[in-house]
Amino acid sequence: MGHARHDHCTTATVSEAIGWASSAVLLATLVTQMLKQWRARSARGVSRWLFVGQATSSLGFLIYSALVDNRVFVVTNAVLLVSALVGTGMTVYFARTNVSASSDGGAESHPGSPAFPRSGDAG
């Protein structure tokens, strides 16, 4: 009887470890992409609907995870929801900033743009 209990605890611990490790990989991937977008100061190629969809699904999964009492998914989906909201904010901000810079006759303000030519670019 004690042996079966030990196997269940070991399986639960391994399952939790796999869940937390997978969560860390997913969140690191998203944070890396958001940092890349932030450094580029550009929303080019990023759809607002990506983050709206992510926020909507993360909220649904967060509620579901809480209802089934799964800590890994509660934490993961809460952080995903925050990242979706931050991503939405960055996308809207950079889209507005780039549009206003273009309408003023100015260039986009990210490296490689006419305002910041790469070395070797004619300017």
In the prediction, which pLDDT does 2 show? 54
Q: Is the pLDDT of residue 7 over 50?
A: yes
Looking at domain 2-103, does it have CATH number 1.25.40.10?
A: no
Span 60-80, pLDDT tens digits: 999 999 999 999 999 999 999
Please say whether the dihedral angle defined by the alpha carbons of residues 10, 13, 19 and 21, taken in this order, is positive or negative.
negative
Tokens linked to 78: 């809460």
pLDDT tier for residue 12 given thresholds of 50, 70 and 90: confident
Max CA separation in the chain (angstroms)? 78
| 73 DSSP assignment | H
**Angle, vertex CA 32, rays to CA 31 and CA 37, nearest 5:** 95
Residue 94 burial (10 A CB sphere; 0-12, 13-18, 19+)? buried
CA proximity to 30, closest of 64, 76, 72, 65:
76
**Which of the listed ranges 63-67, 92-96, 105-109 does the model predict with the highest average pLDDT?**
63-67
Going from N- to C-terminal start, the domains of the chain cover 2-103
What number of other Cβ atoms are within 10 A of residue 22's Cβ? Answer: 12
Its pTM stands at: 0.67
Q: What is the mean pLDDT of the chain?
A: 78
In the prediction, which pLDDT does 119 show? 42
